[in-house]
């Protein structure tokens, strides 16, 4: 009678769903800070779970936009770990365009409302910092409420030069980078010795 070899344990793989285009064009922030133009930043609040679909349509129309996306790990129905890319700020995508671009975006029927941005420069700076934080691949935590705290600058490491607010938490010190317009932000764990006060 033949003996069966023990079953080889199956390796659990982590399929990675490719990240979609999150910024168009690649030099969007530089473009938005160039000479004055008819374009301006708009905060677009989408219908539920329509951020990526809207981004695809804006890309097809070649309308400049930024959709902050971060990696998220979850389990599939077969027990595998899956990494996907999800919007950092639920429901929001940031459009940089003309009045014609705004009207064109509304025709997608994926938008709940468009919020005008009074401080264009501040929003651009905030979004640029979030973009660079995401590029560092540091684990980010979404902060729903901005808290008062000390303004600081990172003086060493991959995030050197970034500015934010320190939030007091149980555990490690966290640097909060705020999107002041939305009253939301993201935070990243960072050792306090890497920070220097701005005031």
- d(C-alpha 181, C-alpha 59), whole Å: 24
Of the candidates 36, 25, 44, the residue with the CA atom closest to the CA atom of residue 121: 36
What pLDDT, in 10s, does the model give residues 162-196? 998 887 655 667 788 888 889 899 988 887 778 88
* 40 CA to centre of own chain: 19
Q: Are strands 163-167 and 151-154 parallel, antiparallel or unpaired?
A: antiparallel
What pLDDT, in 10s, does the model give residues 39-90? 999 999 999 999 999 999 999 999 999 999 998 877 766 777 888 899 999 8
Give the domains, in start order, of the chain with CATH numbers.
14-117 (3.30.70), 119-199 (2.30.30)
Q: Residue 73: enclosing H or E segment and its boundaries?
A: strand 69-75
pTM over 0.85: no
* Size (the chain), residues: 199
């Amino acid at each position: 009678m033949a003996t069966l070899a023990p079953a080889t344990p199956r390796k659990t793989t982590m399929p990675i769903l490719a990240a979609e285009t999150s910024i168009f064009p690649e030099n969007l922030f530089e473009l938005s800070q160039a000479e004055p133009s008819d374009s301006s930043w708009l905060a677009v609040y989408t219908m539920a779970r329509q951020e990526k679909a809207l981004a695809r349509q804006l890309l097809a129309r070649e309308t400049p936009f930024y959709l902050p996306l971060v990696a998220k790990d979850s389990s599939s129905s077969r027990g595998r770990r899956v990494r996907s890319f999800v919007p950092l700020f639920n429901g929001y995508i940031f459009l940089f365009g003309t009045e014609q671009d705004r009207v064109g975006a509304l025709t997608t029927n994926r938008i709940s409302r468009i919020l005008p941005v009074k401080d264009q420069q501040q929003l651009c700076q905030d979004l640029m910092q979030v973009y660079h934080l995401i590029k560092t691949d540091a684990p980010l935590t979404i902060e729903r409420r901005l808290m008062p705290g000390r303004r600081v600058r990172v003086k060493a490491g991959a995030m050197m030069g970034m500015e934010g607010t320190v939030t007091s938490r149980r555990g490690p010190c966290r640097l909060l980078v705020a999107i002041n317009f939305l009253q939301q932000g993201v935070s990243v764990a960072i050792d306090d010795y890497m920070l220097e006060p701005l005031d």
